[in-house]
Every structure is written in structure tokens, then in C-alpha cells.
Amino acid sequence: MIEIDIEKENKAIAQEYKELLRISYQTLTPEDKKLIRKAFDVAVEAHKDQRRKSGEAYIFHPIAVAKIVASEIGLGATSIAAALMHDVVEDTPTTVKDIERMFNPKVAQLVEGLTKISLVQKDMNVSMQAENFRKMLLTLNDDVRVILIKIADRLHNMQTMESMDDYKQVKIASETLYIYAPLAHRLGLYNIKTKLEDLGLKYTEPAIFKDIVSKIKETKEEQDAYIKDISDIIKTSLDAEGVEYIIKGRPKSIYSIRRKMKAQNVSFDEVYDKFALRIVYKSNPHDEKFLAWKIYSIVTDHYRPSPSRLRDWISSPKSTGYEALHITVMGPKGRWVEIQVRSERMDEIAEKGYAAHYKYKNGATEESGLDVWLNLLKEALENSESSAVDFVEDFKMNLYSKEIYIGLAEKVFSIFI
């Protein structure tokens, strides 16, 4: 039996809590901090006798989920508090009414939504799972933050599955690839989507995952040198033009490399665009578009572009709110390289998804693609009389597409544009 140093563990818990406040994407007022502290105290007390399968104190899990909510999704104090208490009602005698009395109706509503999702997901039957998933999406009618916190919860569970039985790992990973990764993608949470996909692959195809990881490590030095060569040339021209920017090298995800190997029936060595460069530039709103195309011009002065692979999501943003210019150019040694061009604002929306999208909305009344999608999704959920399994299949298929939903009688059709 593992002996636990309680004093050391308590210090680690306190440290995690401080880190949560420090990394919050939004500025926390004294009132916000008070709310978060109270939620933390309730969660610590409620979970004090619980441990995870790994043996660590259970409270580390809700704190980790709250950290993802605060820094990677960018939600505020109400959501952070709900994330800290997301398992309290399910696992302890505390009720939703207790939380409403201690906090406020909004925090209680979020915790209740998260509790419902956890309870329905325990059913192993496929059609029941599908029906429960439809019910879970209906929480969008109350507050989309329930889904966002649930995605954070799923990410942390995926990151800490080592102690679980193999069959449970495969079940959870398969469900993650089937539902949660596409959902994160559709809500603009690209970083989280990538992590969920890579972790999903780690448990569903472990041998392939390990093989790709080891090959990426073997070629890392060569790839870094290649990225530096390209970056240095582009930097000289950007500096000469007085553009304020940073350049980041970004390897393709393990999952996307695997997908490409499968789709094109090629080996790891034959996947050439295994990394991308991202140029993030400073700009005022007025000059954003002009500067993006100026950078495009600078890049293509040095490297020949592939016109068929140009993606202009600045003139026509994705329905998730994503904006960027993606240029694929022929780099040194005859290798294709993707270069992504984004302003700081675009980069923030790409990193934080839904939350950053609203930060920049500034009270605008015009509905964005994401708002339209959420509203039409709600209608589809309420009106659909198709079987739950069919509904989930249709829903998943449409997650990756730019679509318009049209309600006709009880059926939802998708027109791809």
C-alpha cells in the first residue's frame, strides 16, 4: 500500500489552486476570486475522502478541469466555479439546491447540466448512449458552457487514463474520437481537438501511435533546422517591411499524420507536410486584411505557392469564427510547407474558440456562423424524430462541414456549400 504524505499533498493542492487563479484567461475581479475560492472549498470538502484510480487525491481532477476551462477555453469565474464542483452532486450528498443556496442559480444550473451528462453516460448500450448524447446537446438550450466544461473534463480524463483497465481506455478513447473531438472542432477549440485526437489514437491504435511518435522524435532535429531555414528568410523581409510579428513552428498532430498515411496509403516518410509555420502579426482592425495579403506577398516572393491549396478564411471566415490565410509553398529540398497567417485577434479566436469569439464581438448584433449553427442545432435537437443513433451519425457527419440546416417537417437536411 502506498503511504501518502498528507502535508505534501495539501501543499500541492494549494499550489494548483494558485496556478488556477494565475493562468485565468479573463481578468478576475475580487468578487470572482471570492466565488472561485468558495467553489474550491466546497469541492475540497466534498471530495476529501475520495481518490482516483492512480491513488492521487480526487480534488486534483476538478482543479485540472477548471484550469483547462480558465486557460485553454477562456471562460470566466462562473464556469471556473462550476468546473471545480462538476462532480460534487454526482459523487457526494451535496444537492443542486445546496449549490444554488450557497452560490447562485447560474452556477447551480451549470453543475446540474454537468451532473446529468455524467449520469447518462454511464449506460453502455449504444442506442441509449446516442439518445443520451442528444439529451446532452439539449443543454445548449440552457447554456453552451455546460458542453465546453464537459469537453475540458473529457480532455483531463483522457490525459489521466493510464491506471484504467484496457477495455475502459478503448471505450472512452473511441467515444472521444466519435463525439468529443468533432464537437471541440465545431466549437473552434482546435488545440483541444488535436489533443483529444492524439490521445484517442494513443489508446485505440497504441502500436501505430508509438511508431509515429518515435519517428517524429528521430526527425525532430532535421525538421527544426528546416523550419529555421525558412523562417530566417521570411523574417529578413518582414523586418524590412516593418511588420510586427512572431513566427512559430508547429508540427502536424500525430492523428493528422496517421489520417494522411491512411487516406493516401503512404508511409510516414512519404508524408511531406508534417509541420506548418504560423506567422502571427500585430494589427489594428482596419489594416488586418491588408497586412495578411502583404505577408502573403512577402512569403510568395521567396517560395512558389500552390494556388489550389490557398485557403482564404479571412475574406470568408469558417462557420466556427476561424480566420486565417493558409498558404502551401514549395520550400527547400522540394518539400511542401503550410504557412498560416493570422493577426493576434485571429490567433486568439483560433486558440480559444467560442469564448474569444464573444470577447471580440463587442455587442455586435449580426449573428456569426457559430451563433447560427448553435441556434439551428437547438431547433434540430428539439424537432428531430429520427432515431437517436441516426441523429448522432448525421450530427457527427455535419460537424466538420460548413453547412446550412433546414428544418423540413421533422427532418433536418444539410446543404454543403
CATH number at residue 235: 3.30.460.10
Q: Which is it for the CA torsion 340, 344, 346, 348, positive or negative?
A: positive
Residues of the chain with pLDDT > 90, as a percent, come to: 51
- Indicate if 55 and 25 belong to the same structural domain: yes
- Indicate if 198 and 221 belong to the same structural domain: no
pLDDT at 212 over 60: yes
- Indicate if 23 and 162 belong to the same structural domain: yes
Q: Looking at residue 346, what is its pLDDT? A: 92
Q: Looking at residue 286, what is its pLDDT? A: 93
- Indicate if 252 and 276 belong to the same structural domain: yes
Q: Looking at residue 368, what is its pLDDT? A: 57
Q: Looking at residue 1, what is its pLDDT? A: 44
Domain boundary among 170, 204, 238: 204
Q: For residue 85, give the C-alpha cell.
A: 464542483
Asked if residue 343 lies in contact with residue 314, where contact means CB atoms within 8 angstroms, the answer is no
Q: Quick one: pLDDT band at residue 213, thresholds 50, 70, 90? A: very high
Q: Quick one: pLDDT band at residue 318, thresholds 50, 70, 90? A: confident
Residue-wise burial string across 155-194, b where 16 or more C-beta atoms lie within 10 A, e elsewhere? bbbbebbeebeeeebbebbebbbbbbbbbbbbbbbbebbb
Q: For residue 125, give the C-alpha cell.
A: 448500450
Q: Looking at residue 252, what is its pLDDT? A: 84
Q: Looking at residue 202, what is its pLDDT? A: 97
User: Could you read off the pLDDT of 361-414 as tens digits, one per residue?
Assistant: 654 444 555 566 666 666 666 665 556 666 666 666 655 444 333 232 222 222
Q: Within a domain: residue 107? A: yes
Domain boundary among 301, 320, 352: 352
- Indicate if 224 and 146 belong to the same structural domain: no
Cα R_g (the chain), whole angstroms: 23
What separation, in Å, do the N-terminal and C-terminal C-alpha atoms of the chain show? 60
Q: Looking at residue 364, what is its pLDDT? A: 47
Q: Within a domain: residue 112? A: yes
Q: Within a domain: residue 394? A: yes
Q: Within a domain: residue 55? A: yes
Average pLDDT, the chain: 83
Q: Within a domain: residue 209? A: no
- Indicate if 144 and 13 belong to the same structural domain: yes
Q: Within a domain: residue 1? A: no
Q: Higher confidence at residue 171 or residue 206?
A: 206
Q: Quick one: pLDDT band at residue 6, thresholds 50, 70, 90? A: confident
Domain boundary among 153, 186, 204: 204
- Indicate if 55 and 155 belong to the same structural domain: yes
- Residues with Cβ within 8 Å of 180's Cβ and at least 6 positions away in sequence, in order, are 151, 154, 196
Average pLDDT (226-235) is 92
What is the Cβ-side half-sphere exposure of residue 163, based on CA atoms within 13 angstroms? 8
Say which range, 122-131, 165-174, 189-198, has the weakest mean pLDDT: 122-131
Asked if residue 77 lies in contact with residue 32, where contact means CB atoms within 8 angstroms, the answer is yes
Q: Quick one: pLDDT band at residue 147, thresholds 50, 70, 90? A: confident
Q: Within a domain: residue 16? A: yes
Number of domains in the chain: 3
User: Could you read off the pLDDT of 245-280 as tens digits, one per residue?
Assistant: 999 887 789 999 999 999 999 999 888 777 789 999
pLDDT at 229 over 80: yes
Q: Quick one: pLDDT band at residue 182, thresholds 50, 70, 90? A: confident
CATH number at 149 reads 1.10.3210.10
Residues of the chain with pLDDT > 70, as a percent, come to: 78
Domain with 24 in it: 6-204
- Indicate if 186 and 273 belong to the same structural domain: no
What is the set of active-site residues? 90-91
- Indicate if 269 and 339 belong to the same structural domain: yes
- Indicate if 175 and 303 belong to the same structural domain: no
- Indicate if 23 and 169 belong to the same structural domain: yes
Q: Within a domain: residue 176? A: yes
Q: Looking at residue 319, what is its pLDDT? A: 74
- Indicate if 171 and 37 belong to the same structural domain: yes
Q: Higher confidence at residue 2 or residue 292?
A: 292
Q: Looking at residue 92, what is its pLDDT? A: 83
